[in-house]
C-alpha cells in the first residue's frame, strides 16, 4: 500500500467513522494464549484512544491487560490492528453513558447484572489500512492487471488514534 499519499489524520477520522458504522471488533490477548472473539465496541467521543466493551466477568479477556484488536469495516475497505491495555472499569457513570438496548439484551439483570463487566481498552498503537481503488484499479484486480501504488490505498502506523494528531 502506498505510504507517500497517506494522511494519518484522514485515516484516523475514517477509522472512527467506519467503526461507528460497524462496531464489531475481534479482541484477544496480545500473547496469543487464547483465540480472539468478536465483541461490540462502545465508542465514547469524549475519550480519545479508548474503546469500551460490555462483557461477562468470566469472559476470556476480562483478566488480560495486553490486548490485540482487529477491525474490518463493513465494506471491507478499511482495516485496523490496534494494541492496548485492557482493564475492567465498572465506573457507573460510564456504564450509564454507554448503556443501550443491545447491551441490555445480553445482561438480563440490567446495569446491576452480577456478571456485567465494562472492559476499557486504552489504545497504545495502531496500524491502519484503507483501500481506495479506482474503477480502473478494481478492473485490474478482477482481470490480473498490475496495480499502481497510487491505486492501492493508504497505510499508517500511529501511536494515537486521535484525529487531530498527525501520527
Contact 10, 128 (CB under 8 A): no
**Residue of 130 and 86 predicted with greater confidence:** 86
Q: Convert the pLDDT of each residue in 20-57 to its tens digit.
A: 999 999 999 999 999 999 999 999 988 888 999 999 99
Residue 132: predicted pLDDT: 63
Q: What is the reported pTM? A: 0.78
Q: Convert the pLDDT of each residue in 139-164 to its tens digit.
A: 445 555 554 455 455 655 656 666 56
- Cell numbers placing 151: 491505486
> Is 70 exceeded by the pLDDT of residue 4?
no
Residue 12: predicted pLDDT: 83
Q: Which of 6-10, 17-21, 24-28 has the lowest mean pLDDT?
A: 6-10
Cβ atoms < 10 Å from Cβ of 159: 12
R_g of the chain, CA atoms, integer Å: 18
Report d(CA 4, CA 12) in Å as an integer.
Answer: 16
Find all residues with CB under 8 Å of 123, minimum gap 6, and list them.
Answer: 49, 50, 51, 82, 83, 84, 160, 161
The DSSP annotation for 94-144 comes to HHHHH--HHHHHH-TTGGG-TTEEEEEEEEEEEEEEE----HHHHHHHHHT
Q: How far is CA 84 from CA 9, 81, 118, 119, 137, in A?
A: 20, 10, 15, 12, 35
- Band the pLDDT of 166: cuts 50, 70, 90: low
Amino acid at each position: 500500500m502506498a505510504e507517500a499519499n497517506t494522511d494519518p489524520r484522514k485515516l484516523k477520522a475514517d477509522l472512527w467513522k467506519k467503526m461507528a458504522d460497524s462496531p464489531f471488533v475481534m479482541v484477544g490477548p496480545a500473547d496469543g494464549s487464547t483465540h480472539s472473539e468478536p465483541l461490540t465496541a462502545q465508542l465514547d467521543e469524549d475519550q480519545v484512544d479508548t474503546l469500551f466493551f460490555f462483557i461477562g466477568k468470566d469472559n476470556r479477556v476480562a483478566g488480560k491487560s495486553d490486548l490485540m484488536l482487529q477491525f474490518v469495516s463493513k465494506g471491507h475497505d478499511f482495516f485496523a490492528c490496534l494494541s492496548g491495555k485492557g482493564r475492567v472499569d465498572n465506573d457507573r457513570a460510564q456504564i450509564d453513558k454507554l448503556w443501550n438496548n443491545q447491551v441490555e439484551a445480553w445482561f438480563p439483570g440490567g446495569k446491576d447484572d452480577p456478571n456485567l463487566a465494562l472492559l476499557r481498552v486504552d489504545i497504545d498503537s495502531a496500524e491502519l489500512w484503507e483501500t481506495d481503488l479506482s474503477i480502473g484499479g478494481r478492473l485490474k484486480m478482477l482481470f490480473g492487471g498490475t496495480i499502481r501504488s497510487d491505486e492501492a490505498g493508504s497505510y499508517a502506523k500511529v501511536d494515537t488514534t486521535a484525529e487531530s494528531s498527525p501520527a
